[in-house]
Structure formats: C-alpha cells, structure tokens
Structure 1
C-alpha cells in the first residue's frame, strides 16, 4: 500500500515517524478517562439501564446489552458508561486477549459495567469513538500496556496513568473517519476468511470423528456379516467381534488415598518426575510441557501409575474432562499422573486400538452423560471400567489402526494448513491495524470507496 508523501519524527520510539499533519498528543487530551457519573443526578434511580459484566464484552469488539438493572443497584461499585464511549478491559488476561467495545444501543443510552473496564469518551473535535476503537485495537497498545501492568498473577491491571499518558498521533478528523472505515471494511474481509477456515476445521474434525467411529464399530469390510451387539448405541457389529467392558480389557489405575500428593511433594523442574494434569491432554495428544513436578520419593511410591510407552490415559475430572491420550513415543520422561487422571495398563488388545475406541463418537457421548460433578465435570473409575468397546481379532485391530492412521493423517494435514492460514490472516489483520493508525500506510485514496459503500 502507498505511504504518505512526507513524514516527521514523532519523538516516540515505537511510533517512529508519523505523517506530517498528524498531531502528537497524550491520550487524555483526545479523550476523557472514566467520566463522572454525576451527570446522572437528575435521573430516576428506578430507571433501568444496561448492565455490562466482563463476559458481555468480546475479543473482537462484540457487545451484549441484553442485561439490565435499575440505576439504584449499580450506581455504586460499577463503572459508568454511555453511548459513544469506548471501553477496554484493563485486567489480565482480558487486556492481552483484546476485550474492548464501543458503547452502542445501551438502554436509555446509559450503562454500568464491571470496574475492570476502562472508559474513554472522545473529546469533541479531537477524535471519534470509531477511531479510538481501532487505536485501542492496535497490537502496540496492548503490548505496551502489558509492560505497565501492576499487581500479581491474575490480578494484574493497566493503571489509569498509563492510559492518560499514552502517546498517540492523531490525523485530522476526516482522515480518522476514512481510516476507521477502511479498517472496518478490510478487517471484515479478513474475519470472513478466518470464519471460513474455522468452518473447514470443524468439518474436518467431524470427518475425522466419523472415520474413527466407523472403523472401531463397523470395521473396514463393507460386506461383512453383522449381528446384534446387544448395546443400543452400538447397534449391529461385525460377526466375530466381541463387545466387552473396558475393565475386562485393561487394568485401570489412578492416584487414590494416601498416595495422593500435597504441595510439599512439588519440586522444581529437573528435581523430580513429571505429573500429568488435565491440561496436559488435549485432542488425543499427551504433552509433557508446562507440567508440575513431584519428588522422586513420591514418584516411586506409586509404581502402578508410572507412565510407560503404549499406555493410554484419560481425564476423569477437570478442565479437559473425557480427553484421552496415547503414549506413542518410546522416549518419554519419568512421569506419573495426578488424581484427576486414570491410566489403562496391561491392555489385552492393541493399545492404540483401545485409544481409538475411547475416541469414538458413541463413547464420547457415554462420557458426556456420565458426568456426576457440578461445576467440575467428574466420572468414577468404575464408570469408565463399565464402558464397552467392540473388539475384532488382533490382525483386524492392526488393520483398523493402520487405516485410521492413514485417513486421519490426511485430515490432520488439511487441518494444520487451515490453522496456519488462520494464523497468517490474524497476523495480517494486526499488521494492517497497526500500520493504519500509526500512518505507515495512506488510505485516504480509499475514502471514495467508503462513501460509495455507505
């Protein structure tokens, strides 16, 4: 894209040069920070207004205004907003994730929201809500904001002083309008492409699931004689296949009783064994990264749950409830599991075949309805042991495994391509926003297109 004909030094390192004619300001001179709610003094306290909790603000500018409360309930302890304000989340990780929104369609034009929102009201003649939206969408704003956060852990916040003193280069108002319109249009195109790739990924996942489910319940021979399995969700199974409970196919082992560990058993990396948790198992993959480590003494205390190649592991409670992983790699670190997982050992069929069976659609449904937890999904080892799998002969198990590997390998390659495309599109989107609001590209010649589109 074309650049501006002339630039000047901004005096700000990360901004570098900006177009001549753009004015350098601190953000407080372009917008009022956290306006006073005193302007509501004459309103009836029973009047309903929009209520904006953090979950009502999206990472792409979405805003849910469906919640309402009377002013009397929210005027103390909440952040005041009105139509035309620009807000962003100041707390981690919401800031880093880009939660922000323009206030529009508020009930009565007024709202109150979580105190973790910072409010900016454009000053007349200086900037607009739409342009502020894109300024605060810039990767530079979020990245620099992260460096200024204070507090500990999940309570780190961007201070108001950072926002007040944040340097911006403001073009003339007509140019701000042109830039905002350009970004509206171009990011919408990118977002549409990202949505297409995500739909493709979802279709590929559904196809992958169907390939696995059919292979481990109906086999690979379309002309095979079938017989009733005696299980409603399984229907007919090929003749010669056995339908058996998992507890007759494998030994289930997990941390129980005194063998559970406490914080006193946790050590630093390199000083003990990896302990897998629910977050280490996703999409069939067992990851040993970002793990907890326990002392060698505690590790040796429970040899029956020490991980070995060809073990199958399942999450029985926690964030990735029902996820199943297969230890395919022969070279793994010394590792065990925490009480939220269970290991399948002494497997009487091909371990990888059991892994595939546990990922079939019918068993995924059984797992979902077996949740006995409240806010934390949970199922017992006894429940898992009673799940049933359909087992062909050992040679046919190998044929199924080989077939699924080949078929899902192709699907996984297509999925990886789509995921790469999403990453590149998102990088393109971020770069476009940054270039436009810092004047690295000139979009003024595109303004007529915006007018025509309007």
Structure 2
C-alpha cells in the first residue's frame, strides 16, 4: 500500500525533523505550552492543613501514571494553583534515567499535584493544540535522542525547563493534530494487540519450559515406571528405583567469593562471574555483560576459581538462578553473591543438579530456606542441604540430554516470538515518527492492514 504524502514540504530548520509539511508551524515548545517544573520536595511540608497526593518521577511511565499509594505533602496558597493538575496536562520526566518520558493526566484523582523532576505542559490555547499530539511528538523526540547531549546518554541527567522551552517542534492545525492522534491511537492499538499476543505466547512457553523440567527431574522419561512416595509432600511420587540425597553427599567442596573484588576490576584479565551472569531460566552462563578482573595473589584467587563442571548458584538475589561451567570457559572467578559447588560426580551429574535446581525441587527448597528482611539470601548450608531425587547416573544423562533438546526447542520458539515483538515495536515507532513529522498524510487515510 502506497502511503500518501503532503503536496508541499519545507525545511524545518531542525536537524532531527528534516522536512515537514509546508503549512505546519515549527516553533519552540514554550511558545505554545506553559512548561512548569514541579514542587521541590520539602520534608518540613509532610504535615499541614492542605495535605494532598503528588506524583514522583517514577510514577510517570510511557502512557501510564501510577496513582496508587502516592505520598502526600502540604500544598497551600499559590502552590495549589501553580502545581495543580488538570485533565489533558502532559507530564514529562525532567530527570532520572529517561528524560522526556511522558504521559497524559486524565483526571484519575479529584486532586493531585506533582514533584520537581516532572514538567507539566499545559497548552496556552486549547483550541489550537492537543496534548495527545505532543505526547506522540515526545515519543519520537526521545527515540531520536533529542534530549541527550551530544548523543551520549551519560552526559545528561536532566531536562531543565529553560532548555525544554527552546526545543522546536512541528505543529499543524488542531483539526489535523486530532486526525493524526486518532489515526495513531487506532493503528498503535492494533500493533499493541499483536505484541500482547506474542507476549502471551512467551509467557506460555516459559510455563511450559518450567513444567517440562520439573516433570522430567521428578518423574523421569518412562511413563510406565513403578512409582513410590518421595517422603516429601510437595514432591509427590518418584520412580521406585530412584534414590534421594542432599547435595552435600556428592560435594568436593562448596564456597563463595569474598568481598573486595571490585578493587580488582579491570578492562582485561580473568572473567568475574556475578549474579547477572546466571540466568533464571537456563543452566548456561550469560556473558553478554562480562566483568574482568586482575586476580589478586594468594589463596582467595585459587579458592574461588571455577573449573569445568562446577555448579554455580545465586545466593543473594534471584534465588535459584544456576549455571554449569562449560569446558571452553576462560579463567574465571566467582563473586561473593555466587556459590560454587564442585561435585565428585559419584552420584550426581552437574547438569542434573542444575536442572533440579531450576525445577520445582530447587525453587521450593530455596524459597523455604531463604532468610533476611529486604534482602533475601541463602546460606551455603542451604545450598549444601538441597534435597535431590537421584536416578542412576546413566539415566540422569539421558534425562538431561532430553531436557537440553526440549529447552532448546522452546527457547527457539521464545526467541522467534521476541523477535516478532521487537519488529512490531520498531514498526510502531517508525509509524509514529512518520505520521507526527508529516511524512505521511493521514487526514483521509483508511485503516491500515497490519
């Protein structure tokens, strides 16, 4: 389908915009919108006669505003007008990790205000401008890196009001803004529905993956095998010829890294395995974000160095994340948040232990053993005492080979679904960009077939 363009264009004078329709106005945002930064947080104002809820920067996400469990602060006198919210106001993150992130206030609460680190944009002339059109423009500007100094996200943390007011944006007539936002609301809703469908598939595949692993490590591959009570209520019956034992029965040793390794971080050197390198769904290491260290002299270096077949457990976050050290791994060491278990392999295969830790066996055990208040963690004894169903070693290898194949198949389906989401997200962003910058004339465009 060939998409219509406007009959005439002009140079916008703005690099990221390029050409825009000739009849559109390109002007600083502050000429059409009042840009008001929120109220500075004042701990002395947490009590008073005019307590009211206020929004913080993390309450404003793309297209969504959290209004649950908001803090309150005293807003009295002129502040009640200056920092008030009306339906149709556009809220824009001024700081944090995502300057420019925006959402429209629709009057979710009868009374609400907003804190510094948020801008409120309110049209000077409501009969000329639509905050929904500006919302879509903000999405394009953020995607283009307009608010990032020099294109480097590390060089800017704030979007000051003075600078914000000077940014130039394209503005058609209100009737055209309305036609554009109606078109985008309709078409992005279709794309969002397709992405949600793929996300549901990913969620189902994740559930299927967990079920396949849990069934295999508790029931085996032979559906006709005689069964016996496991003696553990949540585990149920297991094959009659299987044994049961804690991990410690087959351990050579169990340890974790020591504190202070951050002092040895380097651009080159040995791998330093952290919790982030242990995935929550698989048994392989994820080294896409690998830290390197210059290994200190002494026993700490040798004690925490991994070997092929070591089983690694997360013990301070994402409990139960696990990985088996592969044969081809470079010299590597574990952090204080990772337990290193080395097996004799007389009774247990490392891969079997890892799959068992991912299954209902490990998840239930670690959930019941974890301790701590806001920081849940495991002790090394919790790992040492992990109860395991134990088939003969040959059967363990057969089951883990089956699981390797099944999880690879499910992972491929998950990757395909995620790829579809990524492509749809790119298409969504490209469509919004083309429409709000006038590269497509949607005023008389029928619905698109996605």
What TM-score results when the alignment is normalised by the length of structure 2?
0.88
Which aligned pairs between 1:202-351 and structure 2 lie closer than 5 A? 202-255=203-256, 259-264=258-263, 266-270=264-268, 272-282=269-279, 283-284=281-282, 285-298=284-297, 301-318=300-317, 320-328=318-326, 330-348=327-345, 349-351=348-350
Q: Which residue of 2 aligns with 1:87?
A: 91
Which residue number in structure 2 is paired with residue 192 of structure 1? Answer: 193
Structure 1 residue 56 corresponds to structure 2 residue 59: yes
CA 1:71–1:261: 2 relative to 1, 3 Å? closer
Map 1:106-121; keep pairs closer than 5 Å: 106-108=108-110, 110-121=111-122
Deviations 1:189-213 (A, max 9, x none): 1111111111110100110111111
Output the CA distance in 1 between the equivalents of 2:154 and 2:52: 33
Q: Which residue of 2 aligns with 1:412?
A: 411
Distance 1:79 1:313 in 2: 52
Quote how far apart the aligned CAs of 1:280 are.
Answer: 1.7
Could you tell me which residue of structure 2 aligns to residue 42 of structure 1?
none
**CA offset digits 1:28-63 (Å, max 9, x no partner):** 1121110798xxxxxxx845644222343223x112
Per the alignment, residue 434 of structure 2 pairs with: 435
Q: Deviations over 1:228-263 (max 9, x none)?
A: 11122212111111111011133453336xx53254
Q: Tell me whether 1:386 sits opposite 2:389 in the alignment.
A: no
SS of alignment partner, residue 245 of structure 2: strand
**Cα distance in 2, alignment partners of residues 405 and 69 from structure 1:** 49
The yes-or-no answer on 1:130 pairing with 2:127 is no
CA distance in structure 2 between the partners assigned to 1:385 and 1:261 by the alignment: 25
Is 2:162 the partner of 1:161? yes
Equivalent residues of 2:86, 2:107 under 8 A apart: no
Q: Which runs of 5+ in 2 are unaligned?
A: 40-47
Query: Separation in 1 of the partners of 2:71 and 2:379?
Result: 42
Is the CA contact 1:313–1:342 (under 8 Å) kept in the aligned structure 2? yes
Taking the aligned partners of 1:428 and 1:347, their CA distance within structure 2 comes to 53
Contact 1:149–1:156 (8 Å) recurs in 2: no
User: CA, structure 1 residues 276+70, in 2 after alignment: closer, same or farther (shift >3 Å)?
Assistant: closer
Pair 413,106 (structure 1): closer, same or farther in 2 beyond 3 Å? closer
Q: Distance in 1 between matches of 2:439 and 2:245?
A: 66
Matched, 1:22 2:7: no
Distance across 1 between alignment mates of 2:402 and 2:116? 55
* CA spacing shift, 1:67–1:231, aligned 2, 3 Å: closer
433-442 vs 306-315, which moves further: 306-315
Q: Could you tell me the TM-score, scaled by structure 1's length?
A: 0.87
In structure 1, the gaps of 5 or more residues are: 38-44
1: CA distance between counterparts of 2:22 and 2:363?
61
- Aligned runs of 1:33-52 on 2, under 5 Å? 33-34=35-36, 46=49, 49-52=52-55
Cα offsets for 1:48-107 (capped at 9, x unmatched) = 644222343223x1123344666625859x955333210121223233xx7421111243
Q: Confirm or deny: 8 A CA contact 1:255 1:337 kept in the other structure.
A: yes
C-alpha spacing 1:174/1:50, structure 2 compared with 1 (3 Å) = farther
Greater shift after overlay, 84-93 or 172-181?
84-93
CA distance in 2, matches of 1:36, 1:408: 50
SS of residue paired to 1:243: strand
